[in-house]
Chain A
Amino acid sequence: MAFASIYVPDFSIQAVVRAEPVLRQQPIALTDGSPPLEKVVALNEAAAKAGLGLDMTKSQARQFLSIAIRPRSRAQELATHAALLDLGWSISPRVEDTAVDSIVVDLTGLVSLFGPEKTIASLLAQRASDLGLIVHVAVSSNLEVALHAARGFPGITVIPPGEESNRLGELSIQVFLPSAEMSETLERWGVRTCEALAKLPVLELSERLGQQGVQLHQWASGASLRSMILAEPKLCFEEEMALEYAVEELEPLAFLLGRLLDQLCARLSARSLSACALRLRFALDKSSENESLSPQIPNGRWDEKKTLFYEKILTLPVPMRDSKMLLRLLRLHLQSDPPSAPIVHVFMAADPAAPRVKQEGLFLPSAPDPEKLELTMARLANLVGDSNVGSPRLMDSHRPDAFQMSRFLPSHNGPEVRQTNIGVPEERGPIAAFRVFRPAPRARVTLREGRPVHISFPGMHGQVAAASGPWRTSGEWWREDQWQGEEWDVEVHRPVSSANTIENSSSVEPQKGIYRIYYDAMRQAWFVAGMYD
């Protein structure tokens, strides 16, 4: 039995750097507290070398021009901790959520899957790097030893059984995170390393430091034994980012969304999952002017905390994990429906789903790649409007031209479609197809003995050469948009004199046509429903 402990040094710093990777090589310090009493609460090694110290005020820290100052983000810390847990669950279901910056993974049975323990530790470090984290990994047969070794040794450490106390001996006792009082006492005794602590007699240590001292002694000698406390796997993929300055334009927003999507996709990838939907929520800038205008903001809403927010749910036709593709889709959706106020906070969540597994058939017709199709659909929606792209679906109604536009989800299951169509072509023969004029143009119709004999509407006028009707139709009298009318199918011939004029010879106006006209009893006017073509 072996355990791998994963420790994230400078956790608060790494949580911020994960969302802003350009800061990785720079000196950085985090401030916390309510203005104007903000103090430096975390800093990396480069910032410490530059002379910055903890508990300095923000204004003092700002004197160091080369050091990047960022506010501490608890939301990003939570997301980073979730990513750390995802890292553990990526290789084993048995994970202990030890601390915000540490987890322990049970490696029992994994050697046959991934190789020796050192390989597993390297794999964990690699996957952590993919998630934007630099971690220490320590493997030991003792859980506590692995935990403390990860805190103490950088990089990858594998401690063979029986060598726990030897390897821990060189570590400082600070890896056990003793209390300030205990630390001071041990410092006064001159006990600074685990080796020195392990050499102290337990009984006397117990008399002077109590049970806490005994526990430290056990940890230092590598003799502590305890069971793992398993964390329950969660399928929660959320990332958020608070912005220092409100973002107004799509381009910088897309840059931030790209970062969040990269993180989300890396986490999904670690769990071998994809996203079937993306939920986006922006907190909008509620300046005093906006607040007064907010009732008019079309896509902004107020939540219970009096925050003006904007929400968008992007439902995907197939599970996806390609951050670039998802970013393109988000951009297109935001272009067509942009937030109506500057953004100060971004929250993004992915609904996980099993990744799409598909094998193309040799005898199946080619079909658009679902991911590319979704992108094409989004671009088309951006071009012609969301309601003008899709697949028509007929409605169960006698109302003329009753249909709905539904989302275009073509069947990719070729054989099923083919099975229902064995024997095509069906012997229907070509039908006289109808074209619907939307909206129906108003027409002037001359009647003789109740029958149309002449008709005129934009684009056509002439004698009615043949007519069929009236076909009376009405329905949905209980609704405001009820319909009631008389339909006629008419063949219209333009007069020869006007048809042969030079200006009309370019067939801008048709010479003859077969139309469906109707008299709308509600509006008491004639309209042209469409044309047979």
Chain B
Amino acid sequence: MAVNVAALRSQIETALAGRLPAPFTYRRVQVETTPFNIPEIDKLTGGLPQGSLTEISGPFSSGRAALLLSALASRTAHAHVCALVDGRDTFDPNSAEAAGVKLEQLLWVRCRNIDQCLQATDLLLQGGGFGLIAVDLSILPPKTVRYVPLNVWFRFRRAVENTSTILLLLDQEANAGSCASLVLRLGLGCSRWAALPAQRTFSPANSCACLFDGSQVQVELARSRLNSAIGSNKVQSFGRMNETSLVTNFRTKAKWSDFREKSIETK
């Protein structure tokens, strides 16, 4: 039987020679990526894949919005038009501007529930031409997002395929499954407080000197279909994740951190 299959394959290849160079060889499509502008993440993932669905999941205060703003800043800086479907109307334009997002290039859709989010995403994908469409479901209860049928994510993925649009999904738990080309799982590390003793105890006298300075974010690469910088032809899956343990950390800093550092240097 095996011989017959090999013979048949050879026969077909011969018949198609000149028209199809290698009919039975899987052709890996080279995916273009856009950097997050966070060196640690870019090194880990190779960037945001265009024409694909990227999912970032994590609990509250785990740096999901920081990654979102970095992605938006990176995309709008290159004159791409971006859209944000805001699941609970929690987007902060001040933070976005501080992160370098060009607000005039950003279409903000403020939704009230998940149905509106999904419909708005559908409309934006049909409209086409966006450089990045971010669907922020991270404040919605995980149970609600879990009930979104898988075919919705398949449909979204199909809509962005063969385009330069990045579809970015933010939630508390990974829900898109195999529809996502890149899945990042975030975890909150320790927060940093300027002029705060290491034991996290403070005295009332110095409370005004204490300042939130940012936090440490742990990032785990849960899935990647990219030929990324971390290795050649690497196709990661959830099952193999434990073996390879692709984890990195990056630091976020508060808006006023630069100002505080400069003022300390001046003094």
Q: Please give the residue numbers on chain A whose beta carbons come within 8 Å of chain B beta carbons, in ascending order.
A: 364-369, 372-373, 375-377, 379-380, 383-384, 388-394, 401, 403, 405, 408-411, 414, 417-418, 421, 424-426, 428-438, 449-451, 465-470, 489, 491, 506-508, 510-514, 530-533
Contacts and interface: CB of A to CB of B under 8 A. Distances in A.
Interface in B141-179: 141-143, 164, 172-173
Contacts, number: 239
Contacts of B66: 430-433, 533
Nearest to B195: A468
15 contacts: A376-B127, A380-B120, A383-B119, A392-B93, A392-B103, A393-B103, A409-B104, A417-B102, A425-B74, A425-B77, A430-B253, A433-B68, A468-B210, A470-B207, A514-B191
Contacts of A506: 142-143
B110 A384 contact: yes
B129 A369 contact: yes
A507 B142 contact: yes
Interface stretch (B20-28, B54-62, B225-233, B235-243): B54-62
Lowest 5 A-B CB distances belong to which pairs?
Answer: A368-B129, A433-B65, A376-B127, A510-B60, A533-B65
B97 A368 contact: no
Contacts of B80: 365, 367
B204 A450 contact: yes
Interface in B13-61: 35, 37-38, 59-61
Contacts of B215: 432, 514, 532
A432 B253 contact: yes
Most buried by A among B59, B93, B142, B208: B93
B91 A435 contact: yes
Given A380-B120, A434-B94, A468-B212, A418 B253 contact: no
Contacts of A512: 60-61, 188
B105 A410 contact: yes
Interface in B72-93: 73-74, 77-81, 89-93
B212 A533 contact: no
Query: Which of A364, A375, A430, A530 has the most B CB atoms < 10 Å from its CB?
Result: A430
B33 to A, nearest CB: 14
Q: Which of B68, B96, B129 has the most CB of A within 10 A?
A: B129
Given A367-B129, A507-B172, A451 B207 contact: yes
Interface in B82-140: 89-100, 102-112, 116, 119-120, 123-124, 126-131, 138-139
Contacts of A367: 79-81, 129
Contact of B64 (A393, A431, A533): A533
Contacts of A533: 60-66, 138
Contacts of A508: 141-143
A414 B105 CA distance: 11
Contacts of A401: 92, 94
A418 B78 CA distance: 6
B218 interface: no
B92 A431 contact: no
B247 interface: no
A430 B62 CA distance: 13
A514 B61 contact: yes
Given A410-B104, A410-B105, A468-B207, A372 B129 contact: yes
